[in-house]
Chain A
Amino acid sequence: MMENAIAWIFIFPLFGSVFCALLGMANRKVCYPISVLSMVGAFWAGVETLMQAVGSSSHEVSYIFGGWTLDSYPRGVGIEFRADLLGALITLVVLGVGLLVSIYSKLPTEEETPGKEPLFHSLFLLQITGLAGICLTGDAFNLYVLIEVAALTGYGLIAIGSNRAAAATFNYVILGTIGASLYLLGVGYVYITTGTLNMVGIHDAIMAPESKLAASASMQVAFVLICLGILIKMAFFPFHAWLPNAYCHAPTTTSCLLAPLVTKVMIYVMIRIVLTAFGVDFSFESTLWAKVLPWLVVVAIVSAAVMALAQREIKRMLAYLIVAEVGYMVGGVWVYNYYGMIGSIFHIISDACMTLCLFLGAGLILRKCKTTNFDGLRGLFSKMPLTMTGFFIGGFSIIGLPPTCGFFSKWYLITGAMVSERWEYLLALLFSTMVMVVLFFRMIERIHLAVSESGENLGKGHGDLGLTDEQTRFSEGPLTMLVPLLLAAGVVLVIGIYNQDVVNQIEIFLDNLPHDADLPKEAVGK
């Protein structure tokens, strides 16, 4: 059965979602088990797919839906799901995050959106279907469809919360639609010029011996439109305006699912478009875009970091951090070398894990303290030590302290910046690292110290936090919420420690790019 694991990744959540919607009408209680079970199934299929991809000689697994063939010129019209190492890795991240969040979702959904569980869980599973599909599809138009599947369910998942969430969603809908339209327009150009929608086919067409496509204006326009569309979708500064409000006002589970995945998957799409569809030479050499974007990245990272500094509330702060991290990853791609690319891909994985950690932690804090405002954090460590440990591991990873995975992705990004001598990008990275140090240790201070915001001592000295015993007594969150957090924190450490195994797979992927296109490895000045 597992020969077609790649299809099962898609089928489990898709049908799970249908069952949730149908059976949920009869009994709301069945939604949660269905949701968790379909995620378990999908996760298993994801692991299987990755194993197959690692095991196969071509390092990829392919599946063509509906019996179409790829024989016609240049690579057919059928929908092909291709899991190469990159796709399989990112899919596994999506499914892993989805699995943990689905376990986590039980209480927050019941408490925050009572009565809407069937709706929520079916949207949730559809969202996973869309995101996993994005990572697997090998077809540029199919990609658009799946992006919209993910986006539309995302709008629903956010708007399901409070009234303010609905307003935030509206903002998101407008920007999201603009982004998707730009992308679709770009794909249209590509189809007209190359006659195919299959990504490998597009690349074949560009690289064909007598092809003049690389120099053609329509391809350039297509490329810029596609990139622009994706940048809007991934909340790249200055197109980030939809993100903070959407993630802040969304229900807890929604923000836990969307924050780690949506932006990261869009980065994946960008890498996929650059490496597989347009190819290295075209993307980095032929367009003006490649000269402008690195500077936009610097602006993006610095401004997002500064805005994160101004926040007084955990979820908002994290939202701006995500915007900064998006800048990291885009920058890693566009420094145009081997290490930067490894850094970006690895950062997709590690950033998904650490953002998950932080949002799961923030959800637990919110549930216990009824606020995620900084000022309500005092004494939280004695109250929920495990939650805070998990949260801090995520925070250390964002800062980039070894041996968390955040250190290693940042290491490769910095190395990438050095190899291409992109000093401005390096400085932006270091600047935002320092901002993150400030952000997280400011929180640690709030939790740990008996000092008010204005610097007055609270309590009676000797570590007295000025709180009642009731407020500091040990009282952890429920296990369905705590266990996913601790697992996520564990994953952050494990990926850090076994980073070499992940990086090896990424390296195999990069070494086997089509048409032997290689990213530069050697340092410029060497």
Chain B
Amino acid sequence: MTDPLIIEDIRPFLAFLVPLVGVFGIAWAGDGRENLRETFTFIAAVLQATIVLSMVPTVLGGAIFEYHVWQIFTNVPLLLRVDGPGLLFASVASVLWIATTLYAIGYMRGLHEHAQTRFYSYFAISLSATMGVAFSANLLTIYFFYEMLSVSTFPLVTHMQDKEARTGGRTYLGYLLFTSLCLLLPALSWCYVWLDGGQVTMDFLGDTGKVGAFGPTAQIILLLLFTFGFAKAGIMPFHSWLPGAMVAPTPVSALLHAVAVVKVGVFCLYRVYADLFGFDVLRSLSGEHWMIVIACVTILISSLIALSQDNLKRRLAFSTIGQLGYVALGVTLATEKGAGGSVLHIAMHACGKITLFFCAGAIFVATGKKYVSELRGLGRKMPITMGAFMIGSLSVIGLPPLGGFVSKWYLALGALDRDALWVVVVLLVSSLLNVFYLLPVAVTAFFRTEETDKDSGIKEAPWPCVVPLALTALGCFVLFFLSGPLLRLAGIGE
């Protein structure tokens, strides 16, 4: 492969900056002028998506964008770089932010939530940090934005300001800051010391296998530090923060805890595995296969836990942990196809899971129901919502012609490239488990009649809630047919 063309361009930095500037508008409009405030959010979201998408054609053409922001250390700059996988992730997050903004308007107003200005402000900051991670060009840059994301989502997780929120917030920060400060930071510093000040070596571009200066044992330790250090990826045993974070309002769970935050975690893993270690090095490391095992265990156990959850959002959260396990599995397989499948799964699962969360929130807005067992007969009252839920479920399960199928296909191919047939079996078993914990939700809603009459007044949630979830459900189809360019961005297409 020839060296890609590098174009100096400010657009990646703009994509990061736009939401931050938007925060000023949001805060200035304040609680008194709701419409103006939400207009600012919209403008920020649309602008960001436009900027991000405008880079797609060039990147598809094989070039990459770079923007040098600031020199962190003598050898390590805060450098933004747009390559295929990063752009794919950024596009998904920023496009879904538009949908989530519309949805949040319906949800937050529908429930008469408090402190909406704070909510929208921190939401924008989180998206800004997400762009930062997606476009990071080296380890230190990615760490900066990773921490920014942890802190800026804390007020969103504890939005309800009650006892539950406190517990959730504590778990959230406890896990994320513990892992990032105690595992990641030493790992980074270790790289910095050993790899000649990190000049070239912390950078994601260029030759892989940069950690070659370490001995094999040290490499495994480093790999472990990184794998568990990026706890946003939800790899067991550092996954408990995610169900805890479900106390947040649903738009937060939908965009941040199914798309932005958690995907930042697995995306960081992708960077470390694919661009820092390199697949050849990884495959030659003895003991590396245990990472695959950890990912598989995460997938299976979380799916089993999801089966037993009656609270819909918690069930979805455990499902997310399982799906994150897929992405992690893809990168740990250390094959081209597996890693490409991972990147693709970031997009596919995002679209499917955000639909499911949107539906869960819409149900809560319309009926106040949180539990799966309460949903009987709801399908007739809320056909669009439950229909979208069905589509989202099928996409997450991985049936064609929905997006989820494509990524799972490539994950399976990746496993076969690694001659790991048992991984394919795990994938199949877990898909089956997906069926068991997702389909009954829609099935009860459509095919079981309700027991009481008090549900008779129920109708669809307000339109700002329903439109986004219909759109994202549609998106699951679109992604399937768009998979050509997506595959090219993920680096496995022709």
User: Chain A residues in contact with chain B, CB under 8 A?
Assistant: 339, 396, 399-403, 410-411, 414-415, 418-419, 426, 430, 433-434, 437, 441, 444-445, 448-451, 455-457, 461-465, 497, 499-500, 503-504, 523, 526
Known A-B contacts A415-B193, A523-B193; A430 and B163 likewise in contact (beta carbons under 8 Å): no
Specify which chain A residues have a CB less than 8 angstroms from the CB of B177 in the assembled complex. Answer: 399, 434, 437
The docked-state distance in angstroms from the alpha carbon of A500 to that of B182 is 24
Contact A414 B169 (CB under 8 A): no
Known A-B contacts A448-B155, A451-B163, A500-B72; A414 and B186 likewise in contact (beta carbons under 8 Å): yes
Contact B162 A457 (CB under 8 A): yes
Which of these, B71, B112, B158, B193, contacts A419 with CB under 8 Å? B193
B132-172 CB mask vs A (1 if < 8 Å, else 0) is 00000000000110011001001100111111011001100
Specify which chain A residues have a CB less than 8 angstroms from the CB of B159 in the assembled complex. Answer: 463
Specify which chain A residues have a CB less than 8 angstroms from the CB of B186 in the assembled complex. Answer: 414, 418, 426, 430
Known A-B contacts A400-B181, A430-B181, A430-B182; A463 and B143 likewise in contact (beta carbons under 8 Å): no
Known A-B contacts A402-B143, A445-B166; A500 and B74 likewise in contact (beta carbons under 8 Å): yes
Contact A445 B189 (CB under 8 A): no
Contact B185 A414 (CB under 8 A): yes
Contact B166 A449 (CB under 8 A): yes
The docked-state distance in angstroms from the alpha carbon of A411 to that of B158 is 30
Contact A457 B163 (CB under 8 A): yes
Closest residue on chain B to residue A392 by CB atoms: B151
User: Chain B residues in contact with chain A, CB under 8 A?
Assistant: 70-74, 112-115, 143-144, 147-148, 151, 154-155, 158-163, 165-166, 169-170, 173, 177-178, 181-182, 185-186, 189-190, 192-194
Contact A415 B162 (CB under 8 A): no
The docked-state distance in angstroms from the alpha carbon of A500 to that of B154 is 30
Specify which chain A residues have a CB less than 8 angstroms from the CB of B163 in the assembled complex. Answer: 451, 455-457
Contact A448 B161 (CB under 8 A): yes
Contact B181 A448 (CB under 8 A): no
Chain B binding surface SS class: helix
Contact B165 A523 (CB under 8 A): no
Specify which chain A residues have a CB less than 8 angstroms from the CB of B165 in the assembled complex. Answer: 449, 451
Known A-B contacts A402-B144, A437-B181, A500-B74; A465 and B189 likewise in contact (beta carbons under 8 Å): no
Specify which chain A residues have a CB less than 8 angstroms from the CB of B173 in the assembled complex. Answer: 437, 441
Specify which chain A residues have a CB less than 8 angstroms from the CB of B182 in the assembled complex. Answer: 430, 433-434
Nearest CB in chain B: distance from A1 CB, A: 36
Specify which chain B residues have a CB less than 8 angstroms from the CB of A426 in the assembled complex. Answer: 186
Nearest CB in chain B: distance from A494 CB, A: 12
Contact A448 B158 (CB under 8 A): yes
Specify which chain A residues have a CB less than 8 angstroms from the CB of B162 in the assembled complex. Answer: 449-451, 457, 461
Contact A414 B161 (CB under 8 A): no
Q: Which of B74, B154, B185 has the most CB of A within 10 A?
A: B185
A-B contact pairs, 10 of them (CB 8 A): A400-B181, A410-B185, A415-B189, A419-B193, A430-B182, A437-B177, A449-B161, A450-B162, A500-B73, A503-B73
Nearest CB in chain A: distance from B179 CB, A: 11
Nearest CB in chain B: distance from A216 CB, A: 36
Those 3 A-B pairs whose CB atoms lie nearest each other, nearest first: A463-B114, A402-B144, A462-B114
Nearest CB in chain B: distance from A406 CB, A: 12
The docked-state distance in angstroms from the alpha carbon of A199 to that of B73 is 33
Contact A415 B192 (CB under 8 A): yes
Known A-B contacts A448-B161, A461-B162; A526 and B181 likewise in contact (beta carbons under 8 Å): no
Give 9 A-B pairs besides A441-B154, A461-B162 with Cβ atoms closer than 8 angstroms.
A402-B147, A403-B144, A430-B181, A430-B185, A430-B186, A445-B170, A449-B165, A463-B113, A497-B70
The docked-state distance in angstroms from the alpha carbon of A282 to that of B303 is 62
Chain A binding surface SS class: helix
Known A-B contacts A430-B182, A451-B163; A526 and B194 likewise in contact (beta carbons under 8 Å): yes
Contact B161 A463 (CB under 8 A): yes
Specify which chain B residues have a CB less than 8 angstroms from the CB of A455 in the assembled complex. Answer: 163, 166
Contact B70 A401 (CB under 8 A): no
Nearest CB in chain A: distance from B79 CB, A: 14
Closest residue on chain B to residue A441 by CB atoms: B173
Contact A434 B155 (CB under 8 A): no
The docked-state distance in angstroms from the alpha carbon of A378 to that of B170 is 17
The docked-state distance in angstroms from the alpha carbon of A503 to that of B166 is 40
Specify which chain A residues have a CB less than 8 angstroms from the CB of B170 in the assembled complex. Answer: 441, 445
The docked-state distance in angstroms from the alpha carbon of A461 to that of B115 is 12
Contact B181 A463 (CB under 8 A): no
Nearest CB in chain B: distance from A383 CB, A: 15
Nearest CB in chain B: distance from A524 CB, A: 10
Nearest CB in chain A: distance from B156 CB, A: 12
Q: Which of B115, B155, B181 has the most CB of A within 10 A?
A: B181
Specify which chain A residues have a CB less than 8 angstroms from the CB of B151 in the assembled complex. Answer: 396, 401
The docked-state distance in angstroms from the alpha carbon of A417 to that of B170 is 29
Closest residue on chain B to residue A462 by CB atoms: B114
Nearest CB in chain A: distance from B264 CB, A: 15
Contact A462 B166 (CB under 8 A): no
Contact B161 A465 (CB under 8 A): yes
Specify which chain A residues have a CB less than 8 angstroms from the CB of B71 in the assembled complex. Answer: 500
Specify which chain A residues have a CB less than 8 angstroms from the CB of B194 in the assembled complex. Answer: 523, 526
Specify which chain A residues have a CB less than 8 angstroms from the CB of B192 in the assembled complex. Answer: 415
The docked-state distance in angstroms from the alpha carbon of A463 to that of B118 is 12
Closest residue on chain B to residue A465 by CB atoms: B161
Nearest CB in chain A: distance from B295 CB, A: 26
Closest residue on chain A to residue B177 by CB atoms: A437
The docked-state distance in angstroms from the alpha carbon of A455 to that of B73 is 44
Which of these, B160, B166, B189, contacts A414 with CB under 8 Å? B189
Closest residue on chain A to residue B115 by CB atoms: A463
The docked-state distance in angstroms from the alpha carbon of A426 to that of B187 is 12
Contact A433 B181 (CB under 8 A): yes
The docked-state distance in angstroms from the alpha carbon of A497 to that of B173 is 25
Specify which chain B residues have a CB less than 8 angstroms from the CB of A444 in the assembled complex. Answer: 154
Specify which chain B residues have a CB less than 8 angstroms from the CB of A419 in the assembled complex. Answer: 193
Contact B160 A463 (CB under 8 A): yes
Q: Which of A464, A500, A503 has the most CB of B within 10 A?
A: A500
Closest residue on chain A to residue B76 by CB atoms: A500
Specify which chain B residues have a CB less than 8 angstroms from the CB of A402 in the assembled complex. Answer: 143-144, 147-148
Contact B155 A418 (CB under 8 A): no
Known A-B contacts A400-B181, A434-B178; A418 and B193 likewise in contact (beta carbons under 8 Å): yes
Specify which chain B residues have a CB less than 8 angstroms from the CB of A441 in the assembled complex. Answer: 154, 170, 173
The docked-state distance in angstroms from the alpha carbon of A419 to that of B71 is 23
The docked-state distance in angstroms from the alpha carbon of A399 to that of B173 is 13
Specify which chain A residues have a CB less than 8 angstroms from the CB of B112 in the assembled complex. Answer: 462
Specify which chain A residues have a CB less than 8 angstroms from the CB of B73 in the assembled complex. Answer: 500, 503
The docked-state distance in angstroms from the alpha carbon of A110 to that of B489 is 66
The docked-state distance in angstroms from the alpha carbon of A339 to that of B163 is 44
